[in-house]
Amino acid sequence: MTTSHNLDGAALDLELKGLIADVLGLDPEQAQAFGPDSGLFGHLPELDSMAVAGLLTEMEDRLGIVIEDDDVDGEMLETYGGLRAFAEAKLGGR
């Protein structure tokens, strides 16, 4: 299910928030309310390591990026802004 990826900021935002909504079973509108400081891993009890692994794997599929072990750190997972910045850097770096 690899899609193509000329994602501008708004499209990336939509994709990432949609993904988080899918993982957490939220209404899409609820996820759209996430801001840069919204807490993720360590803040949302549902988001355990297995769920984060699923989230990252799905990001790889939907954004067409490869996420290495070493890429994954507390900072990128802690807030929505961190995750977004990470995705942006990955997309820009290809």
DSSP code of residue 71 = G
Q: How many CB atoms lie within 10 A of CB 69?
A: 5
Place of tokens 């801001």: 35
Give the shortest CB-44-to-other proteins separation in angstroms: 8
Binding mask 5-24 for other proteins (x = CB under 8 A): ----------------xxxx
Size of residue set near other proteins by CB under 8 A: 24
What's the longest Cα–Cα distance across the chain? 33
> Which residues, numbered 34-93, are part of the site for other proteins (CB under 8 A)?
46-58, 69, 72-74, 77
